Structure 1
């Protein structure tokens, strides 16, 4: 598949963008823009979605959101610089720079939260939205994570509680305890896929965005997003929406049910045996579900038969 990269100016920053073209383009198949998670985790762990280019005959766009990966970093930016509105504006800038008049959006984890923020504004070019493994509210996310945490072995829970209380979250015992949670609810593939490790490594090397907006880790949320919610606003989303999650996802059903309950044109799919990184755990099945949904909402949908 032909792959090109470029850097797109955004304010006084730059966004690194990768565009994957299909070998055999399908007429009417609209481009797909992929939004990665974190915030601040870069695109590497979702780069396998580029396979949708050849599988569906459409262009697939990945980009690293500012503050991470190959895009501009701002480790000295004030806390209030890093807001959802910043990333909505960056998305609009990428779409405009690429000349995308009509497109699909797929967001994973934080990317799905960002996708919802984008869709609430009802951009004219948005043909469909896929919200993958994402909460509609961080309060619901923390409640779900706490419920999953309560199911961890007693010694693991004790280590988490003790080190959080003491502020010793860099202690190897705490890191090992968090990994037990991650192995159950973030990515169940062992060994951990290299794409995920690459994303994690770049975040740990420069964690400004993740630590500012999220906090310490996936279930100890202390960042600026801790009160984030779009529960009331998602009723205004007009784009057809697919909501997906894994059976053992850290995004528990209560976190994403507001999307299903409130978005007018919505469907959902839960992958048995999968967790938060469904696209890494069950890549072919994940892409098949997404591909069928995209085909239904392409420019010439009548020419497609969902598989």
Structure 2
């Protein structure tokens, strides 16, 4: 299903980019309806909004206006392949500034909810600990509090794969040949079990991967070759000591077969004060919004409209 939503662009001033930059966004529903809008931060880093567009159904199911956007370097927003490998440029503060810029452009900075999926949840938690005045609810979807927990969980899941798949992954990561077809095929086996169990993958998910393949600048710089071979600066991500600063209700979601296992989400539940709800989707992996769509929409939508 295609989601042909009204879209637009906002200029994003990034002096270090050396050229004009902009963020492309899409809106489902009416931002002036009186209902608190939900902003969706996609994963990656380096993916696009497409695989999250299904969450625009929250407008029909719960009356929630939804804002999707492609982060800088991704999708229809400005690409900067010349910044490949520049870890001083691709930083979490850059993406926090971009989010603030978008909120102000749309005029919703005084009241909004935020859902961050995977890396988007890392961005979301990093954003929320700064206690932005307009944030009302935070959804951390299949996200990560400590990157090492994610890597450890991924390695455990990897050991459940067929031996020849494990061997191919280990061989190419050691040799630095992670761009080989054999490695990519092995990773695809992992993804079918732990990224999205709907096979063939939904067209929107495929489109996101196509964008990532076209320009892997952000992903390769910040993360590395794969989900559990993290070599970029995100390998040191650990927000545990700041989670107590989050001062809004939080919903934690993930799938039973997710790379974001219980061990990856536990610190969110332990260290975020106040109202925290944690839901695991029994038939899902990393994309419960595609794998158990109706239940996912109900749980997220109900959480957001609660006062």
Q: Same fold (TM over 0.5)?
A: yes
Does the 8 Å contact 1:2/1:21 carry over to 2? no
SS at match of 1:225: helix
CA distance in 2: counterparts of 1:199 and 1:2, whole angstroms = 16
Residues 26, 58 of structure 1: 8 Å contact kept? no
Q: Which secondary structure does the structure 1 equivalent of 2:52 belong to?
A: helix
Per the alignment, residue 283 of structure 2 pairs with 273
Q: What is residue 122 of structure 1 aligned with on the other side?
A: 131
Alpha-carbon distance between aligned partners in 2 of 1:147 and 1:14, rounded to the nearest angstrom: 40
Compute the displacement of 1:27 (Å): 6.3
Q: Residue 69 of structure 1: which of 71, 75, 92 is its match? A: 75
From 5, 8, 11, the counterpart of 1:6: 8
Specify the alignment match of 2:259 in structure 1.
250
**84, 91, 95: which is aligned to 1:83?**
91
Matches within 5 A, 1:1-307: 3-11=5-13, 12-21=20-29, 28-77=34-83, 78-100=86-108, 101-264=110-273, 265-296=275-306, 301=307
Which stretches in structure 1 are left out of the alignment for 5+ residues? 302-307
Cα distance in 2 for residues equivalent to 1:140 and 1:3: 37
What SS class does the counterpart of residue 76 from structure 1 fall into? helix
Unaligned runs of 5+ in 2: 14-19
> CA 1:65–1:2 in 2, change beyond 3 Å: closer, same or farther?
closer
Number of residue-to-residue matches in the alignment: 295
Name the CA distance, whole Å, in 2 between partners of 1:203 and 1:226: 20
**Ranges of 4+ aligned residues in structure 1 off by more than 4 Å:** 25-28
What SS does structure 2 have at the residue aligned with 1:106? Answer: strand
- Provide the TM-score with structure 1 as the length reference: 0.93
**CA, structure 1 residues 261+76, in 2 after alignment: closer, same or farther (shift >3 Å)?**
same
TM-score normalised to structure 2 length: 0.93
Question: What's the RMSD between the two structures over aligned residues?
Answer: 1.5
Whether the 8 Å CA contact 1:36–1:107 is kept in 2: the answer is yes
- Is this contact kept in 2: 1:26–1:57, CA < 8 A? no
- Residue 141 of structure 1, CA deviation: 0.8
After the TM superposition, which of the residue ranges 2-11 and 237-246 deviates more from structure 2? 2-11
Alpha-carbon distance, 1:26 to partner: 10
